[in-house]
Amino acid sequence: MSRTVLPRGKLSASLLRELLADADPLPPEVLVPPRLGEDGCVIRVEGGALVAATDPITLTGSGVGAHAVVINANDVAVMGARPRWFLACVLLPLGTSEQDVRALFAETREALAELGAALVGGHTEITSAVSQPIVVGQMLGWCEADRFVRTGGVGSGDVVLQVGAAPVEGAAVLAHDAAERLGMLAPSLLRRARGALRDPGISVVEPALHAAALGATALHDPTEGGLSAGLYELAEASGTALRVDSDRVLWFEPGVEICTALSLDPWGVLASGTLLAAFPPDGAERAQEALADAGLPVAPIARAEPGQGVWLSDGSALVRYERDELSRAEIAG
C-alpha cells in the first residue's frame, strides 16, 4: 500500500467522514456525537446538557492565549450554550521566558473574564516539539437538554443569515505574519487589520446566543477554510444544498484588500468573527431585524434547497477550501 502524505491544515472532509463513520456505538447520553461540521458535542447530564468543544491555535503565535479562549467559546455558543469553564494544554518552545508565560496567562484570564468564564484546569510544558506557543483549548458550557442547537439543523427553505463580516481573523493574522509583503497598502488599512481581533473582534458568543433565543434552526462558526468551508460544513451536516447570493455577503474590507495583495481568495481565509445562522422562512426576516436592532451587521446570504453542495446564483459551485488560504500564503512567502 502506498503511503499518502497529508497536506498541512484540516483533514479532508472525505477522510474525516470515513474516520468518524468507523467509531464504535456511543452511549445514549451523547446527544450530539462527533460529526462533520458540528462545532462540539452535547452530553446529557442531570438537569440539562453539557456542551464541550476543543480547538488548538496553531496558525499564529500572536495573542495565542486569548485567541484560544475566544475560538473555543465560539464553538460552545453556536450550540446554544453559554461558555463557562475552560481548560488549556499550553505547549511552549525552548527559549520561552518566565515573562512570556506570565503574559500568556494574563491575556488568557482577561479573555475569560470578558466572557464570564473561568480557567479550571489544563497542562503547561516547555518542549522542543514546537517552534511557537501552541494552546489547545477545551471549553465547556451548559444548557437545558432540549435547547441546544446543531450545525446540522438546516431544513429545506431555511434562510441563512451571515452575522458579522469576513475574513476578520484572517486579516489580523496576515497583517501580522505577512507585514513585510503588504507595504503597498495604506497604513490606516493595515492598522484596522492588525486590531481586528478586538475591533470588530472575533467573538460570536453574544450573537450566537441571541440567534439561538430567536429560534435559529442551525448555527455555525466558520473558521479554517473561511466562509466557503463554513457554508459547505453547514450544508453537509444538514443534508441539504445551499444557494448563495454572493452580492449579499458581508466582507471586511481590510481582509479583502490584504487577500488581493497576496493573491488569496477571501472566501477561503480564516473567518472567525462571522456567524452563520439559519432560520425558517417565516421567521428569518424577524430574526434579521432583531439582530440588526442589536447593532449587529447581518444579511441573508443563502437559502437551503433539496440536494447537496453549495451553489452560487449563476448555477456554479462555490469553491470549497479543504486547506485555509493562509497556508498557501506561507508557502508563497
Rounded Cα–Cα distance for residues 64 and 251 (Å) = 25
Exposure pattern of 50-87 as b/e (b: 16+ CB <10 Å)? Answer: bbbbbbebbbbbbbbbbbbbbbbbbbbbbbbbbbbbbb
Q: Are residues 197 and 299 in the same domain?
A: yes
Q: Are residues 139 and 164 in the same domain?
A: no
Task: Give how many domains the chain has, as a whole number.
Answer: 2
Looking at residue 1, its pLDDT comes to 57
> What is the domain-level CATH number for residue 36?
3.30.1330.10
Q: Assess if residue 16 is contained within a domain.
A: no
Name the residue range of residue 112's domain: 27-143
Q: Assess if residue 15 is contained within a domain.
A: no
Q: Are residues 121 and 73 in the same domain?
A: yes
Low-confidence ranges of the chain (pLDDT < 50): 331-333
Looking at residue 122, its pLDDT comes to 97
Looking at residue 58, its pLDDT comes to 79
Q: Are residues 121 and 164 in the same domain?
A: no
Q: Assess if residue 208 is contained within a domain.
A: yes
Q: Are residues 109 and 175 in the same domain?
A: no
Lookup result for grid cell 479532508: 12
Looking at residue 60, its pLDDT comes to 62
Q: Are residues 54 and 162 in the same domain?
A: no
Do β-strands 275-279 and 218-220 pair in parallel, antiparallel, or remain unpaired? antiparallel
Q: Which residues share a beta bridge with 298?
A: 163
Q: Are residues 197 and 173 in the same domain?
A: yes
Looking at residue 331, its pLDDT comes to 47
Q: Assess if residue 230 is contained within a domain.
A: yes
